[in-house]
Structure 1
Amino acid sequence: MEPLSPPTPPSGSPRPRARDLGIVVGSGVPGPLNAITDVPGVRVGHTTVRRTPDVHSGVTAVVPGAVGPHRPLPAGAFTGNGYGKLVGTTQLAELGALETPVLLTSTLSAFRVADALVGWMLGRPGCEDVRSLNPVVGECNDGLLSDIRSRPVREEHVREALETASQGPVAEGCVGAGTGTVALGFKAGVGTASRVPEAGGGRFTVGVLVQANFGGTLRVLGRAVPPESVGVGAGGPGAAADAGSCVIVVATDAPLDGRRLTRVARRAVFALARTGAAYSHGSGDYAVAFSTRPDPGALVADADLGPLFEAVLDGVEEAVLNSLLAATTTTGFGGRTVPALPADALLAVLGAPAVPGPGGR
């Protein structure tokens, strides 16, 4: 890792991303936006639902181009710990096929979001004869900062996220499905990253997007960074290591089938360990991976998947860091406040000599 420099936020961004701080995960090359939208045809849309001080929630849509029941995409899913809701998992695992965009939201809003997604899909051109549809919706519990029982995410919010999804830069932090989430003792949210590996004689793009809301002790490039080390208190009452979840979406233009994509999804959940995830009883840790090639043709051989696996591992680690660095201190439901990860203090910790101890890398 090169010497760390003071934060220099990119133009138009109030908070730096990991690479803006000189924090570089792995040696892989990122795509132009370092985002899941670097994968051709993949769009992302957010709707943020905020009614201060009690509601901090929303929905995020990952929309592959032209996906639908008549043109499903190869896909796979992996459950690291099943304490959560990933709507549509069984058919996704059985058929290895994705029929809809992947939506992320708050726990008690997941079912309303799934219904709204079905309604949106049935109204799409070419779906006039559809009589069965498998929506895929993941969730995290944002109840620490948001009045989760109010189920604030509604059909109009889902439609807005889908209709405004774009292929440009992806907003991160306290936006969409990440508006009220907390991870590793800090305010977190949505984060994204990408890599452009070579595998099986081809060059492909792998993009990831995370909804980070899990417990544990933050690790940055293998170094433990508990909240007290950067001068802030723990992330509020209830932000303990036995609470929270993480949903990861992986997109790629590599020619892969459902079985291979399940292997890719498995590595996405594995990558959370690098960031300090506790994988506790109350954490729902899920990944969905899809290829944008509906008919992948000649597949990347299993023996050649290593660079794609590495791209996912590095991308998820960086996306989690981006979700933390982009987020801002939030006071929410019940007056609870969760602090943001301060970039300058983080750089000071990383620049100091490491204290020997177990678990570093």
Structure 2
Amino acid sequence: MNQLGRRARDLGVVVGTLPTGRHNAITDVDGILVGHTTIDDGIDLHTGVTAVVPSQLGPERWTLPAAVYSGNGHGKLVGSTQVDELGVLESPIVLTATLSVFRAADALLSYLMDRRPDGLSFNPLVGETNDGHLSDIRRRPITEEHVLAAITGASGEPPMEGCVGAGTGTAALGFKAGIGTSSRTVRVLGRQATIGALVQSNFGGVLTALGVPLPVDELIPDADRTEPPGNSCMIVVATDVPLDARQLGRVARRAIFAMGRVGASYSNASGDYAIAFSTAQSDQPAIPDGEINPVFGAVMDTVEESLLNSLFGAVTTTGKGGRVSHAVPHQAVIQRLSAAGRL
């Protein structure tokens, strides 16, 4: 199967009724930058780094309100306990492969120390999923240069999706997956607000779009494959809505809930984490809980579409040992959804 990656909306798959931001990406939240470093030798290495960089972090403000929610803690999210304890984010968020997470954390520490020469304590936040099905994960090819390149090269343009950065070697729901992103705009207390998400998909289950199951065995019945069961998903949610750490914890939980919409199995070995943070000015009071429902709805739709984009944007990849992870066949998806009356 030879097809280019596409976004869910390119296939007619529209999640929910809320409007998207300009680019339908996490970078629609003002000040949020995304960068990738991709390592792909075409044989045994299919991995990389993805960095979400809030430009609000700087000399005027070294922390942002934040929360982490662990749907299933079978993973290595470096820095999460301090975010839980203090309710703040103080670094870019870096995503990579499982066995490279510690090297990435050290590289991110170097970045933070360089920015604050007088600092004595730092909390780099680095997440991961296991791309060992397609990539020689034990080689741990991620270096400080790769991490710094992703951070310093981050931009506010629409991020690349699919087999790029930390999603180069990942697979989800029986298909090749990768990085995906989306955004929504809502009215909160009379002003327009933006919610954006970015995901690194690598989890198990049965792909579901708009409520229609799309099992890999039915969409690609004759493929000779050894698919991984899927293990882990990293979700990053950014918003300009004024929310405190407690409320952001509630937002992060909804992000994990959204995985169920696309058919996640939430298996024993799946490290499913969501990180949520707000870029609102520090002098803005948090919105009342009674006004948060539009944010919850936007998060669910944004994460669901991000997950679909991470799959539809990926391409078939041959990796370590000749293993093949097949892309979702777009035409088969369109036919199934049309037959079900969803398109």
Superposition deviation, residue 282 in structure 1: 0.4
Question: Counterpart of 1:155?
Answer: 144
Quote the Cα distance in structure 2 between the aligned partners of 1:192 and 1:33: 10
TM-score (ref. length: structure 2): 0.95
1:228 correspondence with 2:226:
no
Quote the Cα distance in structure 1 between the aligned partners of 2:45 and 2:299: 33
Quote the Cα distance in structure 2 between the aligned partners of 1:122 and 1:49: 26
Question: Counterpart of 2:235?
Answer: 248
Question: Counterpart of 1:288?
Answer: 275
Question: Counterpart of 1:267?
Answer: 254
| Contact preservation (8 Å) 1:68, 1:100 | no
Amino acid at match of 1:50: D
Correspondence list, 1:21-32, <5 A: 21-32=11-22
Question: Counterpart of 1:174?
Answer: 163
1:84 correspondence with 2:75:
yes
Superposition deviation, residue 353 in structure 1: 3.7
Quote the Cα distance in structure 2 between the aligned partners of 1:172 and 1:234: 24
Alpha-carbon spacing, 1:89–1:268, altered in 2? closer, same or farther (3 Å): same
TM-score (ref. length: structure 1): 0.91
Amino acid at match of 1:203: Q
Quote the Cα distance in structure 1 between the aligned partners of 2:340 and 2:165: 38
Question: Counterpart of 2:51?
Answer: 61
Deviations, residues 71-113 of structure 1 (Å, cap 9, x unaligned): 2001011000000011111100111100000010000000000
| Contact preservation (8 Å) 1:199, 1:306 | no
Superposition deviation, residue 50 in structure 1: 1.2
Quote the Cα distance in structure 2 between the aligned partners of 1:289 and 1:234: 38
Deviations, residues 216-258 of structure 1 (Å, cap 9, x unaligned): 0011001100013323567943512xx4100000000111111
Equivalent position SS for 1:248: strand
How many residues were matched structurally?
Answer: 339
Quote the Cα distance in structure 2 between the aligned partners of 1:234 and 1:302: 49
Quote the Cα distance in structure 2 between the aligned partners of 1:247 and 1:296: 30
Question: Counterpart of 2:94?
Answer: 103
Quote the Cα distance in structure 2 between the aligned partners of 1:296 and 1:308: 20
Stretches of structure 2 that go unaligned for 5 or more consecutive residues are none
Compute the RMSD of aligned alpha carbons: 1.7
| Contact preservation (8 Å) 2:4, 2:315 | no
Stretches of structure 1 that go unaligned for 5 or more consecutive residues are 1-12, 355-359
Alpha-carbon spacing, 1:234–1:116, altered in 2? closer, same or farther (3 Å): farther
1:51 correspondence with 2:32:
no
Higher alpha-carbon deviation: 142-151 or 228-237: 228-237
Higher alpha-carbon deviation: 86-95 or 62-71: 62-71
